[in-house]
Structures are given as structure tokens and as C-alpha cells.
């Protein structure tokens, strides 16, 4: 596996779509099309969840509004900034990988992960605070959606940690480095960020 | 073994052609498993939806009287439908065998197919048969105490909807195998789809908590959205397994790409000697 | 050349396990003259409360609980025979493997329900009826994997190389007959009396005799194969079997 991965005929390190041969031109789409399938699917799924939420919200907007007032907009904004920053570092990680600056890429990947951890800590703290305040998963309809959406998002974030772990592991050794893989998994991380922005807008902002 | 046989009768009746394939197609074992799976899903769907009315599930919040009413109303459908399931549920084995086989064809360790096979072999008990037995017992005696019927009702639907771990871990095992595989047996996007399927098992967990609303066992999110994902996933893996069988060369290395039908048949007849 | 690999030992556990099962079968007061689904709640409660019955119920079910999985070594020996067949893929062995856990596991669930019914005989008779129903229904309808396993064996024999069959053709037909014999038991819920009730001709007598016959016949033909394998030398057909682990 060469330092910057090209469209190679070998069944490569998890980054080659099937049937690729040596003579084909570089792909226009960064990251594998396969990852975009996942992104599209998850986005549609979350859209369905959001639609269900909005539909039920319009049926009982006052109760929802009252519950929404319990959420801290500041904390939500902080969370959003943390993830946006992490996406920025992920972007720099990809750029560094493309330029061959692997130490820099790894550093950026680590920082991305750390910002993700900060988000995790913030989110869990917020949950604990809410539950202690009597607003648990089963408290009322709004909080069902709140804990469900933030919970399923957090799960995606945890998967994102695995993804970053794989990126770092692969970047470590020259034999394993793959630009394709980093680009592909970066797409996943950006998706996690995007989903949070949507959840933030729906749950914290839209009143 | 198959080199001596004649070309398949392309102009014979469908029955003759099927008979030829049963006798001569080198991949007949794999096709047997695939067709059994497809037929099973069709029968399963018909039994669970229109015959027994067990799906979509009735409401968790019903009173004892309404539950007793449901059992009385559906008695025949439940007993006949689940009788059919008790007869054919063993047809889940070829599906698990074929999926395990797909992992065996991959470059990953044999641990993957064995883990998957074991998990899914047992999944049919809490994830299918318990519901069938328990609801059959509910339908058995029309005069049973409604509170007991309600207990059976909860037991049946919760065990069916709420058996999550096997499908969660099993899907992750298959996903990991696909992502690590160097033989290009399945496309990577299908590996990621396994992740989506695994996540539906998380999404369904609140069914154990809520009696009503979108997270109940028949709720908009825990059942309807999950069913759509499951349906897409099932369609996708049936298609992938079909492609696998068509591409299979009984070798050890990367699986060749999909070839057009007549050429494929010629190749399997001429090339694949035992 | 004898192989000290334990297969013979496992094979010979079958008669021992069979004797234990048969003893437990007659020990349980509700089998030799099978309990009827149309017994009233009072009768069912009386059955479990009768001091002459209670110990017999408990001990027989404990015996079944201990030894029900005793079938699995035989099932695995059969899987090993199917692996020796001239198949292109291990698919049928996998199918058999996938079926093997199911039968004993479902039987164990029925066993638990009987033991539960016997644990507190003084409880409300309606509850005792519920546990008794669950036990009998689970036991009687526990046929899906047994039917499938017989059909897979029959198919495996059909797909085997004609000149050198591992199991002879009649074993395939026998398995198909057993599978057919088990089907009526799946529909036992439809009748509380008569030949389709869980104590009736088809779901009880035909089903259990078919299973017993299957165990005996398959043990014998599998045993014959194992002995023949040993007398022919070690690992005889493994070299030419196209199917690896």
C-alpha cells in the first residue's frame, strides 16, 4: 500500500469499491460511494424521526414549549460549537493526509476525537441535570423525543470515536495509510456533526 | 462432475428447466438455501399480517377485556397461522447457513460465520417461536381469565419485538466481516447497512417501557419506521446473497464480478470441476 | 486403525440417554396416559396437588432437564456424516447445525413450565392451568426444527454422489416420512378433544413415536458409518470430500 492510495487493482484496505482496475481515472466523488449510501440512509432515517417529532409537536405545542424551556440554550450552543470545531479539525486532518503530512493529520484526528469527548461529557452532564430535575425519558412526550434523539445521536458519536480510532490506527503506519479511508470516514464524522446541528435546531431553537 | 451433462434446455418448460437445475447446477445447494429463504419470508409475511393479525401489533394499552376480545376474534387465524409457522420455522436455518457461508467465502477468520450461525440459530426461539406458542395458548381456551390473557399478550408481543441483542450483535458481526473482507464478497455499503439494521434494535428498546405513543411496541418509530428499515435491509441482503451465488467461483480469492447470465452458465458448466 | 477421538463414546451415550428418557417418560404421570386439554381447572389442579403425582412430576422433569440436551451429540455426529457427503459447499451441514440447538432448547422451555406448575401446587387452579397449557403447547408444537432437520438430511442424501452414498436412499425416505408425521402436531391448538388434541393420536402418539424411531434409526445408521469408517482406516473419505471445515 503506497503512501497516498490510488485506485489500485488490489482488493485494498477497506477503501476500494468492488471491480476497480488500475487504468481507471481518479474518482470525482471524495470518499467511497459506499459511505455516502450510509450517510443518505441515516439522513433519511433521521428525517423520518424529525417529521414524527414535528407532527406530534404541532398536536400539543404548548406542552412541548413548556418542556423546551427546561433546556439550556447555552449548553446546546456550546455543544454545537464543540462539534463544529471538531469538524474543522477533521477537515484539516483530511487536507494534511492529502498533502502527505501524516503527523499533522494524526494530531488533527486526535483533537477531533477530544472535542467529541468534550461533547459527550457535556451531553451526559446535561442529561444528569435534567433527570435530577425530574425530567426523565418517561416524564412527558417532549422528553421522550429529547432523550431519544440526543441518545441515538450520541450513539452515532460513539461510533464516530471508533471511526477516528481506525483513522489514527491506519495513519500510524506507512503500510496502512490510505487517503481514501480518511476521506471516507471524515464524511461520517461530518454527518454526525450535521445531524447534531439539525437536532439542536429542532429541540433547542425552534420554539 | 458436471462437465459431461448437456447444455440446460433453454426452450423447455419451466418445470423441465427447474428439474435440470436440481440435478445438474453446481450451485444447487446455494440456490436451495436462497429460494427457501425467499419462500419462507413470503409465507411468514402472509401468516403474520393477514392471517394471524399479529402484525402490525395491536395496542399495548388495551384493557383486559379488549385483549380477550382480540384473542376471541382472531382465534382461528392465530391457531392455523402459527401452526404453519410451527411447521416451517426450520426454514430460517438455510438463511443463516447462507449468510454464514458468505462470511466463510470472505478473507476473514472462520470465527465470524460460526459466531453468526450460533447466534441466529437460537434467535428463532425468543424472537419468533415464543410469540407463536404464547399467543396460541392465549387462543386455546376462549373462557380464560382476561387478566391471564393480558399476561400472555404482553409476553408474546414484548418477547417478539423486544428480542434485540441477537440481531444487534449478529448484524455487527456481519458488518465487521464485510468491512474487513478483502475478497469483495459483499459491497461495503451493505456492510454499513448492517449498522443501520443493528441500530434499529436500539431504537426498539423503549418498547419495553412505553404503553402508548411512538415508542410503544406498535409505535410509529419503534415499529413502523423500524419495519421500513428492516424491509429495505432484508431486500438488500436477499439481493446480495443472490449476487454472491451468481458470482461464486468456489475459490479462495477475491470473488469475480457479476457476469451476464448465458456466459455465467457456460462458465460454470465448463470451468468449475470438483 | 482405531481412532481414539471419542466419537464412539458419544455414540454410545445415546442408548444410556434413551433409557433415562424412557424412564422419565413413564415416571411423569401425565405421559403414559396423556393428560387431556379438556380437563377442567379443578382436575388439572388436582393432578398437580395429588401427593402420589407430585414427586413423580418433579423428578421426571428434573431428569428431562438434565438429559434433554443429550440429543445434541447425536445431531453433531450426523452433521459429521453430512460433511463427508459429496457436496459442493458446507451449506447443508450449516443448516443442520442451525437446527440442532432449537429442538432441545424448546423442549427445555416446556420442561420449565411443567416444573413451575408443580412448584406451587396450591396456587389458583386457573394459574396452574395456564402453566400446564404453556408446557403442553410448547412441548407439542416443538416440531419446526425436527421437521427441518429431517428434510435437510433427506436433501443431503439426494445431493450426495450416487455411487458412494454416505447414508443409503431409504434413510432419506424415512426422514421424509418422519417430517410428515410431525406436521399435525403443529396444529394441535385447534382441538381440545379428539385425534388432534395434544393428547390425541397425531400430536402425541404419532409425533413421539416418530421422534423415538428417528433417534433409534439415525443412531444405528450413524453408528454403522462410524464403525465402517474405523475398519476402513483413519479419515477415509475426508481426503476426497470437496468440503473443508
The per-residue DSSP string of chain A comes to --SS----SS--SS---TT--TTSPPPSSSS-HHHHHHHHHHHHHHHHHHHHHHHHHHHTHHHHHHHHTTS-HHHHHHHHHHHHHHHHHHHHHHHHHHHT-HHHHHHHHHHHHHHHHHHHHHHHHHHHHHHHTT--TTT-HHHHHHHHHHHHHHHHHHHHHHHHHHHHHHHHSTTT--HHHHHHHHHHHHHHHHHHHHHHIIIII--
Check C89 against B80: CB less than 8 A apart: no
Residue B14 is assigned to a structural domain of this protein: no
Interface of C with B in 6-45 (CB under 8 A): 37
**What grid cell was written down for B38?**
425467499
Would the pLDDT of C77 be above 70?
A: yes
Q: Please report, rounded to a whole number, the percentage of residues in chain A having pLDDT higher than 90.
A: 68
Residue whose grid cell is 474487513 = B180
CB contact, 8 Å: B110 with chain A? no
Q: Please report, rounded to a whole number, the percentage of residues in chain C having pLDDT higher than 70.
A: 93
Residue B6 is assigned to a structural domain of this protein: no
> How close B246 comes to chain C (CA, Å)?
14
Average model confidence (pLDDT) for chain B? 90
Mean pLDDT in residue range C66-83: 94
Cα–Cα distance between B25 and C187 in angstroms, integer? 36
Q: What pLDDT was estimated at residue B264? A: 62
Residue B4 is assigned to a structural domain of this protein: no
Q: What pLDDT was estimated at residue A7? A: 37
Cα–Cα distance between C104 and C139 in angstroms, integer? 10
Confidence grade of residue A11 (pLDDT, cut at 50, 70, 90): very low
Report which of B266, B36, B250 is spatially closest to residue C87, judged by C-alpha positions: B250
Q: For chain C, what percentages of helix, strand and coil (3-state, to nearest 5) are there? A: 75, 0, 25
Residue range A33-205, CATH number: 1.20.120.80
Confidence grade of residue A50 (pLDDT, cut at 50, 70, 90): very high
Q: What pLDDT was estimated at residue A29? A: 63
Cα–Cα distance between A150 and A194 in angstroms, integer? 13
**What grid cell was written down for C210?**
416418530
Interface of A with B in 130-149 (CB under 8 A): 137-138, 141, 144, 148
Domain of B92 in residue numbering reads as 27-271
Would the pLDDT of B139 be above 90?
A: yes
Q: What pLDDT was estimated at residue A3? A: 36
Would the pLDDT of A26 be above 60?
A: no
CB contact, 8 Å: B85 with chain C? yes
Interface of C with B in 38-67 (CB under 8 A): none
Q: Residue C129's closest chain B neighbor by CA? A: B144
Domain tally for chain B?
A: 1
Check B136 against C141: CB less than 8 A apart: yes
Q: Residue B226's closest chain A neighbor by CA? A: A45
List the Cα angle C44/C48/C54 in 5-degree steps.
160
Cα–Cα distance between C155 and B237 in angstroms, integer? 25
pTM: 0.87
Q: What pLDDT was estimated at residue B11? A: 66
Lowest mean pLDDT among A1-5, B68-72, B79-83, C41-45: A1-5
Would the pLDDT of B9 be above 80?
A: no
Residue B18 is assigned to a structural domain of this protein: no
Q: What pLDDT was estimated at residue B10? A: 62
Cα–Cα distance between C114 and C99 in angstroms, integer? 24
Would the pLDDT of B46 be above 50?
A: yes
Mean pLDDT in residue range C188-215: 95
Q: Please report, rounded to a whole number, the percentage of residues in chain B having pLDDT higher than 70.
A: 91
Confidence grade of residue C2 (pLDDT, cut at 50, 70, 90): low
> How close C131 comes to chain B (CA, Å)?
10
Confidence grade of residue A20 (pLDDT, cut at 50, 70, 90): very low
Residue B62 is assigned to a structural domain of this protein: yes
Q: What pLDDT was estimated at residue B56? A: 94
Q: How many CB atoms sit inside 10 A of residue A55's CB?
A: 11
Confidence grade of residue C243 (pLDDT, cut at 50, 70, 90): low
Q: Residue B180's closest chain A neighbor by CA? A: A14
Would the pLDDT of B271 be above 60?
A: no
Q: How many CB atoms sit inside 10 A of residue C89's CB?
A: 23
Report which of C224, C219, C200, C198 is spatially closest to residue C21, judged by C-alpha positions: C219
Confidence grade of residue B14 (pLDDT, cut at 50, 70, 90): confident
Q: What pLDDT was estimated at residue A183? A: 92
Q: What pLDDT was estimated at residue C3? A: 64
Mean pLDDT in residue range C140-169: 94
Report which of C214, C154, C153 is spatially closest to residue C178, judged by C-alpha positions: C214
Residue B3 is assigned to a structural domain of this protein: no
Q: Residue C38's closest chain B neighbor by CA? A: B141
Confidence grade of residue C4 (pLDDT, cut at 50, 70, 90): low
What's the sign of the alpha-carbon dihedral B110, B111, B114, B116? negative
Sorted by where each begins, the domain ranges of chain C are 7-232
Q: What pLDDT was estimated at residue A9? A: 39
**What grid cell was written down for B17?**
428447466
Would the pLDDT of A14 be above 90?
A: no
Confidence grade of residue A169 (pLDDT, cut at 50, 70, 90): very high
Q: What pLDDT was estimated at residue C33? A: 87
Residue B89 is assigned to a structural domain of this protein: yes
Would the pLDDT of C234 be above 60?
A: no
Residue B41 is assigned to a structural domain of this protein: yes
- Let me know: does C82 contact C28? Beta carbons within 8 Å: no
Mean pLDDT in residue range A90-112: 94
Interface of B with C in 122-161 (CB under 8 A): 122, 124-125, 129-130, 132-134, 136-137, 139-141, 144-145, 148, 152
Q: What pLDDT was estimated at residue C6? A: 86
Q: Which value does ipTM take for this structure?
A: 0.89
Q: What pLDDT was estimated at residue B245? A: 95
Cα–Cα distance between B238 and B219 in angstroms, integer? 27
Confidence grade of residue B24 (pLDDT, cut at 50, 70, 90): confident
Q: What pLDDT was estimated at residue C1? A: 46
Q: What pLDDT was estimated at residue A16? A: 40
Cα–Cα distance between C77 and C227 in angstroms, integer? 12
**What grid cell was written down for A21?**
482496475
Amino acid at each position: 500500500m503506497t503512501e497516498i492510495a490510488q485506485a489500485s487493482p488490489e482488493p485494498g484496505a477497506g477503501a476500494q469499491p468492488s471491480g476497480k482496475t488500475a487504468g481507471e481515472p481518479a474518482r470525482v466523488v471524495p470518499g467511497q460511494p459506499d459511505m455516502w449510501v450510509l450517510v443518505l440512509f441515516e439522513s433519511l432515517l433521521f428525517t423520518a424521526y424529525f417529521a414524527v417529532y414535528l407532527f406530534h409537536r404541532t398536536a400539543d405545542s404548548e406542552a412541548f414549549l413548556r418542556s423546551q424551556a427546561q433546556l439550556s440554550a447555552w449548553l446546546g450552543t456550546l455543544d454545537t460549537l464543540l462539534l463544529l470545531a471538531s469538524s474543522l479539525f477533521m477537515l484539516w486532518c483530511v487536507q494534511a493526509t492529502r498533502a502527505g503530512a501524516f503527523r499533522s493529520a494524526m494530531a488533527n484526528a486526535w483533537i477531533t476525537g477530544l472535542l467529541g469527548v468534550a461533547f459527550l461529557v457535556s451531553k451526559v452532564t446535561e442529561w444528569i441535570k435534567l433527570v435530577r430535575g425530574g425530567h426523565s425519558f418517561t416524564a412527558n412526550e417532549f422528553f421522550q423525543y429529547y432523550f431519544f434523539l440526543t441518545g441515538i445521536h450520541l450513539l452515532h458519536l460513539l461510533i464516530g470515536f471508533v471511526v477516528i480510532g481506525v483513522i489514527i490506527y491506519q495513519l500510524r503506519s506507512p503500510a496502512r495509510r490510505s487517503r481514501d479511508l480518511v476521506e471516507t470516514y471524515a464524511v461520517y464524522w461530518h454527518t454526525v456533526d450535521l445531524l447534531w446541528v439539525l437536532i439542536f435546531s429542532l429541540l433547542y431553537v425552534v420554539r | 462432475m458436471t462437465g459431461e451433462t448437456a447444455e440446460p434446455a433453454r426452450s423447455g418448460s419451466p418445470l423441465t428447466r427447474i428439474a435440470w437445475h436440481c440435478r445438474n447446477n453446481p450451485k444447487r445447494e446455494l440456490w436451495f438455501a436462497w429460494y427457501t429463504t425467499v419462500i419462507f419470508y413470503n409465507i411468514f409475511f402472509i401468516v403474520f399480517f393477514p392471517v394471524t393479525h399479529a402484525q402490525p401489533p395491536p395496542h399495548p394499552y388495551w384493557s383486559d377485556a379488549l385483549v380477550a376480545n382480540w384473542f376471541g376474534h382472531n382465534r382461528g387465524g392465530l391457531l392455523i397461522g402459527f401452526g404453519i409457522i410451527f411447521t416451517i420455522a426450520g426454514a430460517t436455518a438455510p438463511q443463516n447457513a447462507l449468510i454464514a457461508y458468505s462470511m466463510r467465502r470472505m478473507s476473514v477468520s472462520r470465527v465470524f460465520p460460526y459466531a453468526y450461525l450460533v447466534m441466529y440459530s437460537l434467535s428463532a426461539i425468543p424472537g419468533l417461536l415464543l410469540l407463536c406458542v404464547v399467543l396460541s395458548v392465549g387462543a386455546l381456551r376462549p373462557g380464560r381469565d382476561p387478566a391471564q390473557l393480558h399476561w400472555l399478550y404482553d409476553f408474546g408481543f414484548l418477547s417478539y419485538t423486544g428480542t434485540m441483542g441477537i440481531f444487534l450483535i449478529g448484524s455487527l458481526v456481519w458488518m465487521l466481516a464485510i468491512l474487513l473482507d478483502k475478497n469483495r464478497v459483499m459491497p461495503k455499503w451493505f456492510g454499513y447497512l448492517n449498522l443501520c439494521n443493528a441500530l434499529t434494535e436500539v431504537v426498539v428498546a423503549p418498547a419495553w417501557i412505553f404503553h402508548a405513543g411512538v415508542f410503544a411496541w406498535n409505535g410509529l418509530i419503534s415499529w413502523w419506521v423500524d419495519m421500513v428499515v428492516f424491509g429495505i435491509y432484508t431486500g438488500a441482503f436477499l439481493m446480495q446473497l443472490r449476487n454472491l451465488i451468481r458470482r461464486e467461483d468456489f475459490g479462495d480469492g477475491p470473488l469475480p464480478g457479476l457476469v451476464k447470465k448465458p456466459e455465467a452458465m457456460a462458465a460454470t458448466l465448463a470451468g468449475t470441476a470438483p | 486403525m482405531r481412532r481414539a477421538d471419542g466419537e464412539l463414546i458419544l455414540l454410545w451415550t445415546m442408548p444410556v440417554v434413551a433409557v433415562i428418557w424412557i424412564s422419565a417418560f413413564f415416571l411423569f404421570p401425565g405421559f403414559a396416559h396423556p393428560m387431556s386439554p379438556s380437563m377442567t381447572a379443578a382436575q388439572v389442579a388436582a393432578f398437580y396437588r395429588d401427593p402420589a403425582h407430585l414427586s413423580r412430576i418433579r423428578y421426571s422433569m428434573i431428569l428431562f432437564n438434565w438429559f434433554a440436551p443429550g440429543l445434541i451429540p447425536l445431531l453433531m455426529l450426523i452433521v459429521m456424516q453430512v460433511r463427508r457427503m459429496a457436496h459442493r459447499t458446507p451449506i447443508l451441514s450449516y443448516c443442520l447445525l442451525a437446527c440442532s440447538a432449537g429442538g432441545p432448547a424448546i423442549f427445555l422451555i416446556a420442561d420449565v413450565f411443567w416444573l413451575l406448575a408443580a412448584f406451587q401446587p396450591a396456587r389458583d387452579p386457573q394459574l396452574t392451568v395456564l402453566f400446564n397449557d404453556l408446557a403442553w403447547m410448547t412441548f407439542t408444537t416443538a416440531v419446526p426444527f425436527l421437521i427441518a432437520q429431517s428434510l435437510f438430511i433427506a436433501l443431503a442424501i439426494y445431493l450426495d454422489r450416487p455411487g458412494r452414498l454416505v447414508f443409503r436412499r431409504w434413510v432419506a425416505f424415512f426422514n421424509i416420512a418422519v417430517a410428515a408425521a410431525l406436521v399435525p402436531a403443529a396444529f394441535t391448538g385447534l382441538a381440545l378433544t379428539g385425534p388432534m388434541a395434544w393428547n390425541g393420536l397425531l400430536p402425541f402418539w404419532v409425533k413421539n413415536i416418530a421422534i423415538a424411531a428417528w433417534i433409534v434409526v439415525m443412531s444405528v445408521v450413524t453408528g454403522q458409518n462410524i464403525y465402517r469408517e474405523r475398519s476402513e482406516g483413519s479419515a477415509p473419505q475426508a481426503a476426497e470430500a470437496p468440503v473443508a471445515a
